[in-house]
Chain A
Amino acid sequence: MFKTLLARARQGYRTAAFPPQEPVMSALFRGRPELSRDTDSSALARCAELCPTGALRVSEGRPEIDLGRCIFCGDCVAESPQRGIAFTQDWRLASSQRDGLIVSGDGRPNIDALDSELRRLLGRSLRLRQVSAGGCNGCEVEVNALGNIVFDASRFGIEFVASPRHADGILVTGPVTANMREALMMTYEAVADPKLVIAAGACAISGGLFRGNEEVCNGIEDLLTVDLYVPGCPPHPYTILDGLLRLLGRS
């Protein structure tokens, strides 16, 4: 017992001061991309060919990146920075609209907070059932991190629960494999109304790297109405936490 207390003193207080204090990401972190408007479009087209998920497109001569597909590998900038694409340190990436994930220029994804009734119901206590539907476990690692003492989502009343019957919504990761489709839908059905659907990671939003494989359903877009999209491969825990807090109107 005494040793346990000593260890407690030694390990110290570790919970992040976010919010309001902004976290410091690693210097090489690849966050929200910015695209210059006046770049040679043929060079960009060649650049788009490098994109492993087809996230980078040239639309009417203007480049745009679909954060719902982007895996933030940076291959589009690696070859030639003059092409006018840069990944900033901005880790605020979530959006409540699918269209909001398509960024051009220095546009930012936006989140509309839930309406006042839902905020009254869920704003201070949000229980989510996580459904892992065919990804690589990367998103699960980062969702799990929300439960550790650094991110500690429970201080905002956000917790992951075992049963969909206890949940206010589901947080889905993975491209939704054909083999998980039924289990995902059954889990969703088991949650009582009103309920939220959160798509975390490129796979859940669009199928990500596995988009087009016959084994997957290309994410949850065609299956469920989504309330919050959290891009990333995987999303940083701060990106997920920030998305949830803004959706609840708390940040």
Chain B
Amino acid sequence: MAFATTRNTIPLPIAGVPLLDIAEFRREVLARIADGGRLLLLTGLPGDGNASRLLAAVADDAHGEILLCSALVAGAYPALTPDCPAAHYFEREIREQYGIEPEGHPWLKPVRFPPGGPMIGDTEFFSVAGAEIHEVAVGPVHAGVIEPGHFRFNCHGERVIHLEISLGYQHRGVERALRGGPDRRSLYLAETVAGDTTAGHATAYCQLLEGLAGAECSPRANALRAVAIELERIANHIGDLGALAGDVGFLPAASYCGRLRGDVLNLTAELCGSRLGRGWVRPGGVGRDMSSETRGELRQRLATVERDMRNAVDLLWKSSSTRARFENTAVLSRVAAAELGAVGPAARASGIDLDARRDFPAALYRDRRPAIAVGETGDVFARARQRWREIENSVAFLTQLLEDPGEGPAVSTIGPLAPNALVLSLVEGWRGEIVHLAMTDAAGRFAHYKIVDPSFRNWFALGFAMRGQPIMDFPLCNKSFNLSYCGHDL
């Protein structure tokens, strides 16, 4: 067998992952992808001596299976990217983290500029030649309360021919700090992979621990985690809709949505004291149980918020000037989204029917899940509309969860982690598919920890969507993706 098969949160002995030679590895992975598989992850693992071990995870979305295989490489190997564009960013990362050269990669540039490498921003930017071509450089410090990153536009007049995005300014060493754990910092490092996705990343981390420990949370604990994840989705989506309205100068909807986002964050604070959900998801369950009075009150407040959100967002759909700015702007085609491996609402808005809650269900989502919305046109309008449909679905789902959160303790103790094992944990966060991968050593500590935030897959898609667009539409297009810098930079 070329592949070992596993599922979300089910650990596997490392020895059970087939070790192929690189030619076979390449052939098998590409054949799976040509056959409808999706590249979930491509990363290096500590290998033997000078060699590193390449690990590929291919998703079989239709069956909820994850196929794994590996190969030992030293120095260089023939890149997968020319045959599988979705590998491009992973291979850049492998080169940066392991010093292995993916030969034939068309775009080998640094990803995060970690210590010991080139200075941040010291890269050969793509440049377009010809009469009347000009470049616009923006960042790292942006005009607003926004994370840092550098954008380089090649323009012909107002039209963007190419946008290059160079990140790494937020690189603070999260993966490296997780190695050797779990320890007293680990859970909080997971929470702060992306602060706006605290519940999503904390759940991915905790599910991974529970998988390695062979532990299960109670149905109630799983439901209470899902409450936090869905509240996070609603808060961020309504915030994004407000920001989109703001970017086209439609201030009433911007103001109302900004306030409503805060109202949803305040609901999260009722669970755990923190508007961002800090301290709610914990290994073995959640911080505390929720009384039926609190659940009733939350349901009531959620209904009020839902009514106000509908009222505010309706203004967006009914304002023809807003629609004119949203429609046909920055289209990400279905083909491009699939080839680049885009995920989350940005991909679903382009017609990619992918959602880890349904495709790789773990915990609660095995039995209960919200309806999944899929769009079509892939423009700013579709991405905005997608946000609203996901809000509607999440509100309906949350209402059910709060009515009947199931039974069991809020938190259970979990035992030691399996030694020499490998596990993947997938969670559909509000931006899309979050993947955490851990490999344990003989003592059951993290020998390796890898995080793939959905933004890691989607940044390039944003650049792609901007091609041929007027540069003035960049803020709008950017907001319609609303990707994470810190989740990418780690």
A213 contact set on B, CB distance < 8 A: 172-173, 176-177
Cβ contact of A7, chosen from B169, B191, B315, cutoff 8 A: B315
Tell me the smallest distance from the CB of B386 to a CB of chain A, in Å: 21
Taking a contact as CB atoms under 8 Å apart, the answer to whether B177 and A179 are in contact is: no
What 0/1 readout, one digit per residue, does chain B (173-184) give for beta carbons within 8 Å of chain A? 110110000001
Taking a contact as CB atoms under 8 Å apart, the answer to whether B255 and A149 are in contact is: yes
Taking a contact as CB atoms under 8 Å apart, the answer to whether A137 and B172 are in contact is: no
Tell me the smallest distance from the CB of B244 to a CB of chain A, in Å: 15
A177 contact set on B, CB distance < 8 A: 169-172
Tell me if A168 is interfacial: C-beta within 8 Å of chain B.
no
B184 contact set on A, CB distance < 8 A: 49-52, 75
User: Bound complex: CA of A234 vs CA of B173, how far in Å?
Assistant: 19
Cβ contact of A214, chosen from B141, B147, B173, B261, cutoff 8 A: B173
User: Bound complex: CA of A65 vs CA of B270, how far in Å?
Assistant: 25
User: Bound complex: CA of A58 vs CA of B20, how far in Å?
Assistant: 54
What 0/1 readout, one digit per residue, does chain B (128-168) give for beta carbons within 8 Å of chain A? 00000000000011011111100000000000000000001
Taking a contact as CB atoms under 8 Å apart, the answer to whether A137 and B196 are in contact is: yes
B170 contact set on A, CB distance < 8 A: 132, 134-135, 174, 177, 179-180
What 0/1 readout, one digit per residue, does chain B (291-327) give for beta carbons within 8 Å of chain A? 0000000000000000010011011001100000000
Taking a contact as CB atoms under 8 Å apart, the answer to whether B173 and A137 are in contact is: no
Interface size class of A (residues with CB under 8 A): 35 or more
The residue on A at minimum CB distance from B243 is: A144
A-B contacts, 29 listed (Cβ < 8 Å) = A3-B314, A7-B315, A11-B312, A27-B270, A28-B270, A28-B271, A28-B272, A30-B274, A49-B184, A51-B184, A52-B184, A52-B188, A71-B278, A136-B191, A136-B192, A137-B196, A142-B275, A147-B145, A148-B258, A149-B255, A162-B143, A178-B115, A178-B120, A180-B140, A180-B148, A183-B140, A209-B185, A210-B172, A210-B174
Cβ contact of B273, chosen from A3, A30, A150, A180, cutoff 8 A: A30
B185 contact set on A, CB distance < 8 A: 52-53, 209
Tell me if B252 is interfacial: C-beta within 8 Å of chain A.
yes
A236 contact set on B, CB distance < 8 A: 275
Taking a contact as CB atoms under 8 Å apart, the answer to whether A132 and B315 are in contact is: no
A8 contact set on B, CB distance < 8 A: 252
Given contacts A137-B484, A214-B115, 9 further A-B contacts (CB under 8 A): A26-B269, A26-B273, A27-B270, A130-B144, A139-B195, A150-B259, A179-B113, A179-B120, A234-B276
Q: 7 closest pairs, A vs B, by CB?
A: A138-B195, A28-B273, A162-B143, A136-B195, A136-B192, A148-B258, A215-B173
Tell me if A29 is interfacial: C-beta within 8 Å of chain B.
yes
A145 contact set on B, CB distance < 8 A: 258, 262, 265
Cβ contact of A73, chosen from B169, B188, B314, cutoff 8 A: B188
Taking a contact as CB atoms under 8 Å apart, the answer to whether A141 and B276 are in contact is: yes
A164 contact set on B, CB distance < 8 A: 141
User: Bound complex: CA of A77 vs CA of B319, how far in Å?
Assistant: 52
Cβ contact of B259, chosen from A25, A148, A163, A214, cutoff 8 A: A148
The residue on B at minimum CB distance from A184 is: B141
Tell me if B486 is interfacial: C-beta within 8 Å of chain A.
yes
Tell me if B5 is interfacial: C-beta within 8 Å of chain A.
no
Q: Which residues of chain A from 14 to 42 have a CB within 8 Å of any chain B CB? A: 14, 25-30
Tell me if B464 is interfacial: C-beta within 8 Å of chain A.
no
Tell me if B193 is interfacial: C-beta within 8 Å of chain A.
yes
Tell me if B89 is interfacial: C-beta within 8 Å of chain A.
no
Tell me the smallest distance from the CB of A125 to a CB of chain B, in Å: 18
Tell me if A63 is interfacial: C-beta within 8 Å of chain B.
no
User: Bound complex: CA of A141 vs CA of B176, how far in Å?
Assistant: 25
User: Bound complex: CA of A132 vs CA of B198, how far in Å?
Assistant: 18
Tell me if B279 is interfacial: C-beta within 8 Å of chain A.
yes
B194 contact set on A, CB distance < 8 A: 136-137
User: Bound complex: CA of A153 vs CA of B124, how far in Å?
Assistant: 42
B188 contact set on A, CB distance < 8 A: 52, 71, 73, 209
Taking a contact as CB atoms under 8 Å apart, the answer to whether B278 and A134 are in contact is: no
Tell me the smallest distance from the CB of B234 to a CB of chain A, in Å: 15
Taking a contact as CB atoms under 8 Å apart, the answer to whether B193 and A136 are in contact is: yes
Tell me if A169 is interfacial: C-beta within 8 Å of chain B.
no
Taking a contact as CB atoms under 8 Å apart, the answer to whether A28 and B269 are in contact is: yes
Taking a contact as CB atoms under 8 Å apart, the answer to whether A132 and B147 are in contact is: yes
Q: Which residues of chain A from 181 to 218 have a CB within 8 Å of any chain B CB? A: 182-183, 187, 209-210, 213-216
Tell me the smallest distance from the CB of B96 to a CB of chain A, in Å: 13
Tell me if B266 is interfacial: C-beta within 8 Å of chain A.
yes
Q: Which residues of chain B from 191 to 213 have a CB within 8 Å of any chain A CB? A: 191-196, 198
Taking a contact as CB atoms under 8 Å apart, the answer to whether B273 and A136 are in contact is: no
Tell me if A160 is interfacial: C-beta within 8 Å of chain B.
yes
Taking a contact as CB atoms under 8 Å apart, the answer to whether A149 and B258 are in contact is: yes
Taking a contact as CB atoms under 8 Å apart, the answer to whether A138 and B256 are in contact is: no
B114 contact set on A, CB distance < 8 A: 215
Taking a contact as CB atoms under 8 Å apart, the answer to whether A150 and B262 are in contact is: yes
Tell me if B3 is interfacial: C-beta within 8 Å of chain A.
no
Cβ contact of A141, chosen from B193, B196, B308, cutoff 8 A: B196
